[in-house]
Amino acid sequence: MNLMIRVTAAIIEQDGKILLAKRKKEDPLKGKWEFPGGKIETNESPEACLKRELQEELGIDAVVGEFFCSSKYQYEHIAIELLVFRIESFAGEIKPNEHADLAWVAPVELNNYELPAADRPIVDELIKLSRIKQ
Q: What is the pLDDT of residues 35-83, one digit of tens each?
A: 999 999 999 999 999 999 999 999 999 999 999 999 999 988 889 999 9
pLDDT at 29: 67
State the greatest distance between any 2 C-alpha atoms of the chain, in Å, as a whole number.
Answer: 42
What is the pTM assigned to this prediction?
A: 0.91
CA gap 86, 73 in Å, rounded: 20
CA gap 10, 89 in Å, rounded: 11
Q: Which domain holds residue 93?
A: 4-133
For the segment 81-115, what is each residue's pLDDT rounded down to a tens digit?
999 999 999 999 999 999 999 999 999 999 999 99
CA gap 35, 39 in Å, rounded: 13
Number of domains in the chain: 1
83: domain CATH number is 3.90.79.10
